[in-house]
Structure 1
């Protein structure tokens, strides 16, 4: 009986030891999964967002070169600090706007309509630059911008058009869709859409 009990104890020890090892491995895998999927309290940024954040940081470098000029040296876009990625609704890709005038950051939704348009345009151009840089030389040769210029004051509109004109002097074709009459003086080649009782008509107006 003693021998049987001793053998049984040895068998149980092996089973318990194996179970402990499996529980430890399961804990490691669960912890890793929760961390990568952003399910850890206070750290809600998943792996996909982390990678996106890395690319967004590179896009912002190019975007800010243009946003600084369009805003007459007033603004720059910043990513929220990575330590704040689990706070509130911020999951790692939230942007802040830095003001060189006040030397402070504020929420990006505090930008005016015109400033928001300039920020969005700068990000789009920055993304085009990053795609060209990182995607084996792929170049976005054509870009269309639909509206947005009506929300800009005269200075901001002139700065935005200047950036686009500089780009179009290279290999890029920039198309602007707009109802703003002031742009007619800036854009040399136009496809004019008009409407009358017989319907809509288009005609090229080439400089």
Structure 2
């Protein structure tokens, strides 16, 4: 048993666990359409709406890519991948992608984030220009700027 083979096996095992949990999240986010898999260093989706076709993730639309990325980012396994003694990943900021989502998918994503916040397992910050999503965030800060400075104001709910 070579030492580099052990490291590859260990990383592969960790990624497999991450992808398994992210796949379950993606299945929920996509309304049952997609599963995620990672084979030989390449991510694929299983498209259940297309007779379980297996295809590269690069074929996903903007909104679908956002969902797959979100599923990976929200996996509780992300924190487990940190080295011993490293900073704990118990918060995440999402910036971009919300504008690519249709109304139904945006609602699913917002509900997922609300459920995550309610569980208390992770703090999720959202940076968005999408009003429908901003309305659902319980604590909001509005950032404005003029020619010389920026202001941050906490909005009363």
- What TM-score range do you get, normalising by the shorter chain? 0.7 to 0.9
1:123 paired residue among 72, 93, 105:
72
1:69-148 to 2 correspondences below 5 Å = 69-80=28-39, 92-102=40-50, 103-126=52-75, 128-129=76-77, 131-132=79-80, 140-148=89-97
Question: In the TM superposition, what whole-angstrom CA distance separates every residue of 1:107-135 from its partner, at most 9, and x where no partner exists?
Answer: 11000111111101101112x33535998
Which has the larger Rg? 1
Q: Where is the strand percentage greater, Structure 1 or Structure 2?
A: 2
Question: In the TM superposition, what whole-angstrom CA distance separates every residue of 1:29-57 from its partner, at most 9, and x where no partner exists?
Answer: xxx87xx76xxxxxxxx654433221111
Q: How many residues align?
A: 153
**Structure 2 portions without partners, runs of 5+:** none
TM-superposed CA distance for 1:140, in Å, is 3.6
TM-score, normalised with respect to structure 1: 0.65
2:15 paired residue among 53, 56, 75:
56
Counterpart in 1 of 2:123?
A: 173
Runs of at least 4 residues of structure 1 off by over 4 A? 132-136
Alignment RMSD: 2.6
**Structure 1 portions without partners, runs of 5+:** 1-31, 38-45, 81-91
Aligned residue for 2:26, secondary structure, equals: helix
- The answer as to whether partners of 2:27 and 2:34 remain within 8 angstroms in 1 is yes
- The answer as to whether partners of 2:20 and 2:37 remain within 8 angstroms in 1 is no
Q: Where is the helix percentage greater, Structure 1 or Structure 2?
A: 1
